[in-house]
Amino acid sequence: KAGVTQTPRYLIKTRGQQVTLSCSPISGHRSVSWYQQTPGQGLQFLFEYFSETQRNKGNFPGRFSGRQFSNSRSEMNVSTLELGDSALYLCASTITLAGGETQYFGPGTRLLVL
């Protein structure tokens, strides 16, 4: 099976702009989670979608939003970009097996805000 794919891999934006990142989970996985990774804050959970519904949300401002489509692909949007939004954004798809849930990560989208 193909792994988790994220597009684009790199983005440069300026303050005040908005950005949309895309994630395609592993075929058959219906849950998609998003994380932000920065040198200062580490890896932080943004939100999780399952069957087009947001089930869980981390402690991020409303400028961060997401959605999931019927084919399980997910997008996250950041509006009114700030310098501090520069980060690696990781998407993970989850499979539930007998041993519980396991998340598999994509390569990430590196966002630079100037």
Partner 1 sequence: AQSVTQLGSHVSVSEGALVLLRCNYSSSVPPYLFWYVQYPNQGLQLLLKYTSAATLVKGINGFEAEFKKSETSFHLTKPSAHMSDAAEYFCAVYNAGNMLTFGGGTRLMVKP
Binding site for partner 1 (CB under 8 A): 4, 6, 31, 33, 35, 42-43, 45, 48, 50, 55-56, 58, 90, 92, 94, 99-108, 110
Nearer to partner 1, 22 or 103 (CB): 103
Q: How far is the CB of 19 from partner 1 (least distance, A)?
A: 18
Nearer to partner 1, 43 or 114 (CB): 43
Q: How far from chain centre, in Å, is Cα 90?
A: 5
